[in-house]
Amino acid sequence: MAQFQFLTTLKKSQGSNWPCTAAKISPDGQNVAFCDGTDIEIHNINSKSTTLIPTLHSQASSDLCWSPDSQCIATASDDFTIIITHIIFGELYRLVGHTAPVTAVKFTSKGNLLCSCSMDESIRIWDTLTGSLLRTLSAHSEPVVSIDIPLFDSSILSSGSYDGLIRIFDTATGHCLKTLTYDKDWQSENGVVPISQVKFSANGKYLLVKSLDGVLKIWDFVRGKVVRTFISGESNSLRYSCGMDFLYSQDEALDPIVVSGTENGNIVCWDSQTKNVVQRIQSKHLDSPVMDISCKGSLMCSLSLNGECNLWIWVNTD
Amino acid sequence: MDYHGRGYDASYDRYASRYQSDSVGSEKRHNGRSYRREKRPHGYSRRNELFQGETYYPQSSRLSQPTTVESKTRRPAPQLRYKTARFQEQYHYFDPILKRLVHRDVMKSWVSDKLPKSGYVIIQETQPNGKPKPMLKTRYPDEKSTDPRSNNESEPKSTKISHRKPRSHLLRLPRIVYDKHSIGAPPPNEIVVYPVVRDPHNSVLDATIKNYFGTFGEISHFESFNDPNNALPLYVYVIRFTGPPEKLDAPYRSAYKAAKTFENTHYFVSGFKFVVVINRNNQSRKIIDGIIQDNLDQAAKMQKQAERQQNQKPLPSGPQPKMLPQDLERVVQGRPSLFVSKKVISVHGLAIEDFKIKLAKYKFSRIIGHASGFYIVFNDVSDAKACMYVESDILTINSRRRRKPVNIRFTLLEGKSPLVAIAKQETNKCVKKEYGTIAELIDAAAELVIQDLGRALERDIKRRIVGPTVFDALNPHNYPEVMAKRDEEEKKKLELRRIAAETKQEQQSKSTSFNIFNLYGPRFKQKVKSNGQPSTGDHKNTKAENGLDFTKTTVDQELAKPMAHLLNENSRSNTPSASELQIDEDETMLSSADEEMDDQDEHDEEGEQDDQDDQEDELSDSFEHAGKRAKFGSSEATTPESETEKYVLTSARAEEMMKISEKYRPTASESPTPVYPADLLDSLRRLSIVDLRDAVKDEEDFDMLQKISNPPMTSLSDKEEFMISSLLAELNLDYQENRKVIALQSNTNEVPFDESLRSISGNFKAEGFKKVPDKLKICYLPHRRKLHQPLNTVCNHQDAAEISSETHKLDSEKPEADTHTSEITSSRVNRAINRRFQQDIEAQKAIIGSESELLTLNQLTKRKKPVTFARSAIHNWGLYALEPIAAKEMIIEYVGEMLRQPVAEMRERTYLKCGIGSSYLFRVDEATVIDATKKGGIARFINHCCEPSCTAKIIRVGGKKRIVIYALRDIAANEELTYDYKFERETDDEERLTCLCGAPSCKGYLN
């Protein structure tokens, strides 16, 4: 039996002015970066040192993303811009083009492209080398809140929007390859269930989708079918897009774990194969919504809206 | 016994099987053999029956047939009818019983010996009793026969004298009507209408003639003729009449009637006097040839006359080429053009589009419609000439009026630049000037010479006196104060740079693991290269040591730039001589400005030269690097990708991929591969001074740098200094950036971002889910504001820019009104063509005789206009015209599932329940609704507008009601198509839908 063990609190909730919405473990597993208002805060996991990198954003950023070489961070801000910041040298590019707050950013695995989505219902693809805008994909009719690119395949891009649609795009041509939705999903009292998060599995075959009714689904997006559904059993219409992620344990034989934060500060872990609840971490985040969950190796970092950030490790308890 | 048994068996079998197959609902047929074995006894009884019935009948009929069979069963003995004594004696015959010929030996001929040997004829001889009797008359073939009439001569002639009077004239024969029994060619059914008097200033429309002669009968063929020499109409018409098939002479009657009507008179129409004759013996050809000959003669006469006139007036040489009309000169701008006569165009109703299509392969710049005709303007004379030689008189365009191809003749108008034209006019004027006396002529010549000399003088003054003075005035020696100031500035800058470089080095030595330029380097590399700066670390040190000199040269280069063209300097040249020159000049400049500086300069000159050499080495090095990089880049980047393409991509996709530059192509690899190899860029990882210099952009920055370069607290270490400077710079940047961002936000959106949309709690994500009201979306969706402007769903930004520039070019070339009218005419023509097509289809249908789904479908799809859907300002998606559409034109059919009313109501409810807010149900009539929600065409994307550009009409096609969208007014390309939804007025305010069409007369609600 394996489960998460509390490792450390990287950051305490201090009741700061700025809400915290994004915490990401760097691809090399050395650092954790948070959005702290307009600044980026980087915690080194090993040395436990903290660096604060100011950015030129005029408004707080919603999301950040590590470049695959763990050298740069892209931040998506409410001032409609994205800034790529090198953690040593400072700002590299300011990507200007969105006409509404940017909601999420994601580097491709090569690091040469950056995809961003925004409240202006569009997804933009940028060239990180020149800072130029390559493509605009406008195919949603409500704010696009989440995008993801598979780890080893930068040819596709998935997006989730408040209009209830999950779309798969071809990054090269910008064509929509697939739209994931089905009528059953729409049979809600309020009409459409907004999508809050999308996340590809590591093998790039499945897509984990979280919608604002608190249900997580694993889609086989090629066939357009839901293969697993996880219900956290909470309120039906959530407000915050709480974080979620896949955790792949070191032991190959074990199934990947779906880790999902809830609005009342809990973290629920499911076995992605059996749909059993493996662990339910409660009363750690003081009833504050868990805004982001980021897994890397056996590490898991959870961040709640009040600024508390905890680091967990997946260990065998046997 | 054995034989019989078998025979029975066989017959039994045959009958049995027949019986078997014929009997209704009989038992299953068995295998023949087993069946026989089982049923044999029964079979025998059956056989007896059969013998009674002789032939098999179906059971019922057999029962009704009584059995009278005995005689028939036995064959009767053969009887010989001719078994009489008379026969047997007289004739020979074949006796079937004896089976031999009887009297074979005594056979005789039937013909009697009395018959004459030379043949005979049987003639009817009238006997005395009056009865004819056949008589045999011997023929004598050697005898010659006599004319039987010669016998009559002997008879006495009748002496009767006729009481009839001799005819005074020939008998009038009745007109023979041509009917189905008639043989030979049908009577002429064509008439020729040709002019005897022509009004040179007027023209007659073909339609006029056709309509008039249509009153005489049904016209099957109407042809008008043109002069082959000048393509002008000859006004000769050949009209062929036709009629109903049962009245074969109707065409002729019509033709005759027409000819008869104008037998003695002429047919007058708009100044023309026409003769109408029946077209016998290809008379039309003769008439046409005659008229053409006449025209030729006339033309020849005219030419002679013109020549005579020319001889009288020697000035204009040769036939004057057609000139461009004055009003077009500005548009044509002296370019060559081909001219197409107005006459051809007006007669055949040709449009600019026809020429555009036909001449698409030529590089003409535009076609101008003018009162005198069309002018096809070329940019290049050679193009124009090529087009002229290839196409003139050969190009055929289908006449819009006469349904036949017309040869187009071009006239080449050689372009001359307007200036040349003016000059020509002037020279003409000069030529015209007459000089009375020799003295006057000399004076004029002298004047010309003086003018020339004056011009030469002017040039000399400019070159030799003004030039040098200006150069002198610009000499920096004359402005010591300015130079001094500049020097000061330089010094400050240099100092700052030195500090920055040092700190940078420190930092880099501290953290070599973080390598920014591995990923983001090329930009810097380029810069370094363009500045010709060294880039290796070794050199960096030397640079830092004598950085002063080195950077001075760069700055000098910069300073020299504005005046470089005056001072004949090559600021970028790396040849030692040039640089030395430059240095000399610098030196002199400085010496005059400041003597101390002068010393320093002299001091550093040698070092500078060394630097220069180094620089060259470095340059070559860096080029090598670049070459290597290119090689590496291509090999490393392409190999994995080609592999993936081989296996993963289909050919179509691969093609698509090939369009994307290699850098951005996605790869599917186990681990992320960097596009640029890291090690090659190592040499570039350090910031050069140039970058810092670039960072300083305005006075403010500079002031700050000044402060830093003259620090009041000298105790600060270098690093601290740098920190301060960087902080200051950052603050400034911060301030500027913020201002920029705010400006940008309002710039990109044009409208301030609505405050209610701003996140109160910090950022978007922290705000959580919030439904954005449709009304507020306008402040961040630019396409919402640009009403009727499409937003490409997938757009490549570079492409878009290119297209827009192209269209812009086109637009600027064409006057607005011109394009507009021509497009509309073309669409009208299209409609005519479509109508014709439709008629064809109907004819086809008549032949097929049944309603074919395929044909009805074609009718509507044929007339469809190119449209596309994109995000709309009114509601989610909208339909946009890709081409200009003329008013009343059909645009698209509203396609969907046809439902009955109750089904539609049910569906509406389910859709609402499912959250499909948009309604795509379209009511056709009380009973039927078309639903395009799940299955339907793109016409469903058309939005409502209170001032619509289109309208939906319900038309009947092949007995089915269909919804077709028509244009209400002329619609420009890329305009959004809208129509009035005409929803029923909703009384409940809650249910009412707000209208976002943005039209000035918007009612505010859809329903």
In tens, the pLDDT along B267-280 reads 888 778 888 888 88
Chain A residue numbers touching B871 (CB-CB < 8 A): 138
- Looking at every residue in chain A, the average pLDDT score rounds to 85
Residue B109 tokens, joined = 């001929």
Chain B residue numbers touching A188 (CB-CB < 8 A): 915
User: What would the mean pLDDT of A109-119 be, rounded to a whole number?
Assistant: 90
Q: What is the pLDDT of residues B147-159, one digit of tens each?
A: 777 766 555 555 6
Give domain status of residue B977, yes or no: yes
Residue B205 has pLDDT above 70, yes or no: yes
| B516, B738, B769 member nearest A212 (Cβ) | B769
- Best B669, B725, B756, B765 residue to mutate vs chain A (most A CBs within 10 Å): B765
Give domain status of residue B887, yes or no: yes
Cβ proximity of A239 and A306 under 8 Å = no
Long-range own/partner contacts, residues B29-38 (CB < 8 A, 24 or more apart): B36/B9, B36/B12
Give the number of other CB atoms < 10 A from CB of residue B954: 15
Residue B611 has pLDDT above 80, yes or no: no
Cβ proximity of B893 and B963 under 8 Å = yes
Q: What is the pLDDT of residues B531-550, one digit of tens each?
A: 444 444 444 444 444 444 44
Grouping H, G, I as helix, E, B as strand and the rest as coil, residue B219 is strand
Q: Please indicate, yes or no, whether residues B373 and B275 belong to a single structural domain of this protein.
A: no
Grouping H, G, I as helix, E, B as strand and the rest as coil, residue B410 is strand
Instruction: Report pLDDT for A147.
Output: 93
Q: Cα–Cα distance between B541 and B968 in angstroms, integer?
A: 77
| Residue closest to A260 by CA, chosen among A293, A286, A238, A282 | A293
User: What would the mean pLDDT of B310-314 be, rounded to a whole number?
Assistant: 61
Instruction: Report pLDDT for B467.
Output: 86
Cβ proximity of B753 and B743 under 8 Å = no
pTM over 0.90: no
Q: Please indicate, yes or no, whether residues B953 and B999 belong to a single structural domain of this protein.
A: yes
Burial class of B900 by CB neighbour count within 10 A (0 to 12, 13 to 18, 19+): exposed
Handedness of CA A227, A232, A233, A238 (dihedral sign): negative
User: What would the mean pLDDT of B213-218 be, rounded to a whole number?
Assistant: 86
Alpha-carbon distances of B1004 from A118, B774, B782, B827, B994, rounded to whole Å: 30, 14, 21, 35, 6
DSSP letter at B792 equals -
Cβ proximity of B383 and B364 under 8 Å = yes
| A21, A129, A172 member nearest B666 (Cβ) | A172
Instruction: Report pLDDT for B432.
Output: 54
Q: Where are the alpha helices (DSSP H) in B262-396?
A: 283-312, 326-332, 342-348, 352-358, 381-391
Contact across the interface for B769 and A127, Cβ inside 8 Å: no
Final residue belonging to a domain, choices B364, B385, B413? B413
Contact across the interface for A54 and B730, Cβ inside 8 Å: yes
Provide ipTM, 2 decimals. Answer: 0.80
Q: Give the number of A-B residue pairs with CB atoms closer than 8 Å.
A: 202
Q: Please indicate, yes or no, whether residues B360 and B255 belong to a single structural domain of this protein.
A: no
CATH number reported for the structural domain that contains residue B877 in this entry: 2.170.270.10
- Cβ neighbours of residue B864 under 8 Å, at least 6 residues apart? B890, B891, B892, B893
Chain B residue numbers touching A162 (CB-CB < 8 A): 769, 771
CATH number reported for the structural domain that contains residue B338 in this entry: 3.30.70
Chain B residue numbers touching A133 (CB-CB < 8 A): 797
Q: Are strands A277-281 and A267-271 parallel, antiparallel or unpaired?
A: antiparallel
User: What would the mean pLDDT of A257-270 be, rounded to a whole number?
Assistant: 88
Q: What is the pLDDT of residues B935-944, one digit of tens each?
A: 888 888 888 8
CATH number reported for the structural domain that contains residue B262 in this entry: 3.30.70.330
> Does any CB of chain B come closer than 8 Å to the CB of residue A155?
yes
Give domain status of residue B260, yes or no: yes
Residue A178 tokens, joined = 């697939």
| B523, B741, B914 member nearest A186 (Cβ) | B914
User: What would the mean pLDDT of B112-130 be, rounded to a whole number?
Assistant: 78
- Best A44, A58, A128, A157 residue to mutate vs chain B (most B CBs within 10 Å): A58
Grouping H, G, I as helix, E, B as strand and the rest as coil, residue B322 is coil
Give domain status of residue B486, yes or no: no
Residue B644 has pLDDT above 50, yes or no: no
Give domain status of residue B127, yes or no: no
| Residue closest to B376 by CA, chosen among B394, B393, B397, B354 | B354
List chain A domain ranges. Answer: 18-241
Instruction: Report pLDDT for B295.
Output: 86
Q: What is the pLDDT of residues B17-27, one digit of tens each?
A: 444 444 444 44
DSSP letter at B821 equals H
Q: Cα–Cα distance between B275 and B375 in angstroms, integer?
A: 37
Grouping H, G, I as helix, E, B as strand and the rest as coil, residue B460 is helix
Q: Cα–Cα distance between B909 and B907 in angstroms, integer?
A: 5
Give the number of other CB atoms < 10 A from CB of residue B349: 13
Q: Percent of chain B at pLDDT above 70?
A: 55
- Report the phi/psi class of residue A289: left, alpha or beta, with left for phi > 0 and alpha for psi in -120 to 50: beta
Residue B860 has pLDDT above 70, yes or no: no
Final residue belonging to a domain, choices B370, B396, B413? B413
> Does any CB of chain A come closer than 8 Å to the CB of residue B672?
yes
**Rg (chain B; Cα; Å):** 55
**Domain count within chain B:** 3
| Residue closest to A78 by CA, chosen among A119, A49, A24 | A119
Give domain status of residue B111, yes or no: no
> Does any CB of chain A come closer than 8 Å to the CB of residue B668?
yes
Give the number of other CB atoms < 10 A from CB of residue B64: 8
Give domain status of residue B290, yes or no: yes
Q: Are strands B943-944 and B976-979 parallel, antiparallel or unpaired?
A: parallel
Final residue belonging to a domain, choices B413, B440, B457? B413
Alpha-carbon distances of A156 from A176, A194, A223, B669, rounded to whole Å: 10, 22, 15, 13
| B515, B667, B764 member nearest A154 (Cβ) | B667
Chain A residue numbers touching B795 (CB-CB < 8 A): 135-136
Question: What's the domain range around B993?
Answer: 775-789+855-895+937-1006
Instruction: Report pLDDT for B561.
Output: 46
Cα–Cα–Cα angle for B686, B689, B693, nearest 5°? Answer: 135
> What secondary structure does DSSP assign to B564-596, as a single string?
HHHHT--TT---HHHHHHHHHHHHHHHHHH-HH
End-to-end CA gap in chain B: 105
Burial class of B501 by CB neighbour count within 10 A (0 to 12, 13 to 18, 19+): buried
Q: Please indicate, yes or no, whether residues B877 and B783 belong to a single structural domain of this protein.
A: yes
Confidence of residue B112 (pLDDT cuts 50, 70, 90): low
- Looking at every residue in chain B, the average pLDDT score rounds to 68
Q: Please indicate, yes or no, whether residues B297 and B331 belong to a single structural domain of this protein.
A: no
Contact across the interface for B737 and A58, Cβ inside 8 Å: yes
> Does any CB of chain B come closer than 8 Å to the CB of residue A63?
yes
> Which of A13-27, B448-462, B480-494 has the highest average model confidence (pLDDT)?
B448-462
Q: Higher confidence at residue B44 or residue B220?
A: B220
Residue B468 has pLDDT above 80, yes or no: yes
Alpha-carbon distances of A34 from A22, B20, B138, B396, rounded to whole Å: 6, 97, 144, 74
Cβ proximity of B389 and B403 under 8 Å = no
Q: What is the pLDDT of residues B416-446, one digit of tens each?
A: 654 444 444 444 444 456 677 788 889 989 9
Q: Please indicate, yes or no, whether residues B292 and B393 belong to a single structural domain of this protein.
A: no
HSE (side-chain half, CA atoms, 13 Å) at B315 = 5
Burial class of B166 by CB neighbour count within 10 A (0 to 12, 13 to 18, 19+): exposed
Q: Residue B930 phi/psi, 5° resolution?
A: -105, 125
Grouping H, G, I as helix, E, B as strand and the rest as coil, residue A121 is coil
> Does any CB of chain A come closer than 8 Å to the CB of residue B675?
yes
- Cβ neighbours of residue B919 under 8 Å, at least 6 residues apart? B908, B911
Q: Percent of chain A at pLDDT above 70?
A: 93
User: What would the mean pLDDT of B877-905 be, rounded to a whole number?
Assistant: 87
CB < 8 Å from B in window 108-137 of A: 108-113, 119-121, 127-130, 133-137
Q: What is the pLDDT of residues A132-169, one digit of tens each?
A: 999 888 888 888 999 999 988 889 999 998 888 899 99
Instruction: Report pLDDT for A148.
Output: 93
- Residue type present at position B61: S
Residue A66 has pLDDT above 90, yes or no: yes
Q: Please indicate, yes or no, whether residues B331 and B293 belong to a single structural domain of this protein.
A: no
Q: Please indicate, yes or no, whether residues B270 and B233 belong to a single structural domain of this protein.
A: yes
Q: For domain A18-241, which CATH number applies: 3.40.1190.20, 2.130.10.10, 3.30.420.40, 3.40.50.300?
A: 2.130.10.10
Cβ proximity of A275 and A255 under 8 Å = no
